[in-house]
Structures are given as structure tokens and as C-alpha cells.
Amino acid sequence: MTKSLLLRGGRLVTMDNSRRIVDGDVLVQDGRIKNVGRSDGRTAGRSKPTTIDCSGLIVLPGLVQAHIHLCQTLFRGLADELRLEQWLSRRIWPLEAAHTEETVFWSAMLGAAELLLGGTTAILDMETVRHTGTAFEALESIGIRATVGKCLMDAPTNPPRLRETTDKALTESSDLCARWHGAAGGRLRYCFAPRFAPSCTGPLLRAVSDLAEHSGATIHTHAAETPLELDTVRRGTGHDEIAYLDTVGISGPRAALAHCVWVDKDGIERLARQGTNVVHCPSSNLKLGSGIAPIPEMLAAGCRVGIGADGAPCNNRLDAFAEMRLAALIQKPRLGPDALPAGQALELATLGGARALGLEAEIGSIEVGKCADLIALDLSGPHAQPDDADLISRIVYSARAGDVRHVIVDGRIVVQDGELKTADVGEIRRAANTQARRLRRAVGL
């Protein structure tokens, strides 16, 4: 790790409490932000800091995506034009069941490379049932901040090749938590990741709630994505899904529920009261035809909301800029052009994501003492001109992943001048393509 780093001369979009935008430097020491604003570098101590020239660039807190499946990156383009239930049963579950250590590793490397190059510095990731340790190894080496969970599927209705006993699912999950929660200096964390209520028994969900509480880990699951899912849960439990999850302890600030598309007023009030994190996945919800989540209503009710691209086969990109832009756009036909303005979309991808990962004290804004997860954007392209237009508008509506020039995670330079420094992108591409072909052959696609 670079001990001391100076990002010199950028325009800093701090996302601090007063949403200050200032011209100046960010000084980083031992992975943390030491100073924000004018600096001559002398506060770095005796050794001269490594300096990155950010003049003309926009410096932002690293973007956070609170719902990702890195194990699905190799499935990109293999499951288009399907509804969630067929998407899972015909494509995603057979492909996940065919995963080997090698395919999981390169799927994680490919996804993480795309994420880092596009300015996403932290993720909440749900892997598949097997080989989660291998995904952690990939993420340890490539340098992204990640909270990762083994997918838990113990209900009798699951496909036999993915279904595990409750005991096995919980034991392996606890072992992974013991091994990885807080690893790589705290950059890697574990989450307990029951797939969704229909895939899990009540005893498993209750045990997950206890284990997460005990270990200080996040709970990461899906909820209320489609009407069919809601019906299944209601028939099986007699409860509305959000209410049911609360009865088994999957609620509150420790829990992150992806989607929450089909949530009524009572459900929204419940989520707000509990402080449960909702993770909005606008591209995924549109592509699978699931619907439009009532995010402005949730924000008005005081819900905690983050954002995520979900998996490559339901998006098909892992691009935080695309998700921010879409989050702002999709509400406007329903609620008017002032619904979910640009500033709110940027909050979802920074502060909201940090909260969903339980890391609001560590990431999500550029403030002294926080972890140095920072990105620098070059908005000099024609698509982001004129350059005196509102900066937040340019970031949310105009910027794209290709505008990311530099990326710092935990004080380490992982992308410089648009080039990944922690892994060879050519090697990732070759290996990922080989492994994707192997998976396709294994399932006959």
C-alpha cells in the first residue's frame, strides 16, 4: 500500500453533511483521508507523498453498489428476455450449479475489473452456493472493497444441485465468516446471504439473523421483486413478504433487501420504521420486466436506500453511472420530471450504499478520517459539456464509466489513467472467456 498519497488540484464533490464542492487536494495517509482542501503536502510528514495530478478532474467518493452477483458475470448475455422465474430456473440456477472454483474465480475477477474501471470501489456481493472462498481470494488480490456472502438455499423446492441442508448451509457460512470477515485490513467482510424467502426455510432465516447479530455482519437478500414471489411467500407463511422477513429477524439496519419493487404503503412504512436498507436495481427491474420500485415514496418515508447493478445477466453491465442515471429517469413518467433529482441519485450510490454495507462511518463521502476510497473523473468529453453546467447534473446525467481516470481503494491506487494496476485485464479477458465457454458447454447452451 502507498503510505502517503496526494490527489492534487481536483474539484472535490465531498458528499459531506453540507454537500460541499471545493477545489483542492485530498491527502491520504495509511489508507485514510488525512486532509481535504488546500494542502502543500507537508502534512504528509517527512516522506514526500506519491502525487496524482487531478487538475481538471472531478474527485468523488468511490461509488458503492449494494447488490451485485459476481458469480454471474460469466453468464452475461446468456439469459436475455426472460422473466425472473424462468431466468432463474432455465439459466441462472443450472449455470450456478455448474460453477467450479476456476469459473467462480474468473467470474469474480471479470466483474471486479469492470466495477473498478467504472469507479465502483465497494460492493455487497451475493455469490453462489459453492466456492465463495475462491471469490474472496480473487477480490483480495484485485483490491476492491467487498462484503461477500455464500448464497443460502435450504428449502425443499430448490433445484437439487443447489439445495443444501440447513446445517451445512449455516456451518459453511459461519466458517467463511470466521475466515474472511475483516480480512485484508477490514477491506473484505462477510455477509449472510439467504437467496430469497422462497429458497429458504424459516429456521435458516432465524439462524441467519442470530449469526449476523453475533458476528456484526450484514444480511444480504432479495425481497418483493415480483408479484409471483409475493404470492409464494403469502401462501407459504400467511404473511406479506416484508412483514414475514421481519418475523424471522431479516430487518433493521443490518439487513439489505435488493429490489423491493412490490411494496405497498404499509410495507414502506415498516421498512422505514425498521431502518432496513433497500437496494434499488433499476436496470435489472426493467430488463426482467419486474416493475419500478417506489423509491421516491420510500425516500420520503425515511427509508435507507442504496443502488446496485445486480448481476451481469440481468443488466448487462455493472456500471454505477448507468444505474444512477436510470434511477433518476424511471420515476419521472410516473411522478413528474422533478422526481428523484440528480443529487438524490448520487446519494444512493455513495452514502446510501455505505449505509447498506454498514460502513457509513468509513466510506461514502470525502471526509477526514474516512477510508480513502476515491475516484477521479475526466468530464472533458463532448458528452459532458458545457463545463460550467451544474456539476451534479453532469455526473449523474452525462458521465459514464469510461470517464473514470483514477481509482483509489483503501489508499491504494487500483486504476491510474484508466488502466487497472492490480491485475492484467488481457489475462482476465482470456481466462474469463475460456471459463465462460466451459460453463456454457456444461449446461448445453
Q: Under the rule (CB under 5 A), what is the footprint of Zn ion? A: 310
What are the backbone angles phi and psi of residue 360, rounded to the nearest 5°?
-65, -25
What is the DSSP code (8-state) at residue 142? H
- Distance of alpha carbon 112 from alpha carbon 291, whole angstroms: 27
- Distance of alpha carbon 173 from alpha carbon 150, whole angstroms: 6
Least distance from C-beta 157 to Zn ion, angstroms?
A: 18
Least distance from C-beta 384 to Zn ion, angstroms?
A: 31
What is the DSSP code (8-state) at residue 196? B
Least distance from C-beta 277 to Zn ion, angstroms?
A: 14
- Distance of alpha carbon 123 from alpha carbon 68, whole angstroms: 7
Cα 335 vs. chain centroid, distance in angstroms?
Answer: 26
Q: Which is nearer to Zn ion, 154 or 310 (CB)?
A: 310
**CA 346, 352, 358, 361 torsion-angle sign:** positive
Q: Which is nearer to Zn ion, 296 or 311 (CB)?
A: 311
What are the backbone angles phi and psi of residue 209, rounded to the nearest 5°?
-60, -45
Q: Which is nearer to Zn ion, 229 or 310 (CB)?
A: 310
Least distance from C-beta 73 to Zn ion, angstroms?
A: 13
Q: Which is nearer to Zn ion, 310 or 319 (CB)?
A: 310
Least distance from C-beta 445 to Zn ion, angstroms?
A: 20
Longest dimension (CA), the chain: 67
What is the DSSP code (8-state) at residue 278? E
Least distance from C-beta 207 to Zn ion, angstroms?
A: 22
Cα 354 to Cα 146, 307, 324: the distances in Å are 11, 10, 15
What are the backbone angles phi and psi of residue 307, rounded to the nearest 5°?
-145, 155
Least distance from C-beta 130 to Zn ion, angstroms?
A: 18
Q: Which is nearer to Zn ion, 310 or 323 (CB)?
A: 310
Q: Which is nearer to Zn ion, 164 or 310 (CB)?
A: 310
Q: Which is nearer to Zn ion, 137 or 310 (CB)?
A: 310
Cα 33 to Cα 8, 289, 341, 394, 408: the distances in Å are 13, 42, 29, 25, 11
- Give every CB contact of residue 426 below 8 A, 6+ residues apart in sequence: none
Least distance from C-beta 68 to Zn ion, angstroms?
A: 8
- Distance of alpha carbon 183 from alpha carbon 245, whole angstroms: 29
Q: Which is nearer to Zn ion, 220 or 406 (CB)?
A: 220
Cell of 355: 449505509
Cell of 397: 446525467
Q: Which is nearer to Zn ion, 190 or 397 (CB)?
A: 190
Least distance from C-beta 67 to Zn ion, angstroms?
A: 6
Residue nearest to Zn ion (CB): 310
Q: Where are the beta strands (DSSP E) in 268-343?
A: 277-280, 304-307, 310-311
Q: Which is nearer to Zn ion, 127 or 310 (CB)?
A: 310
Least distance from C-beta 151 to Zn ion, angstroms?
A: 10
Cα 386 to Cα 73, 297, 378: the distances in Å are 36, 33, 13
Contact between residue 373 and residue 24 where contact means Cβ atoms under 8 Å apart: no
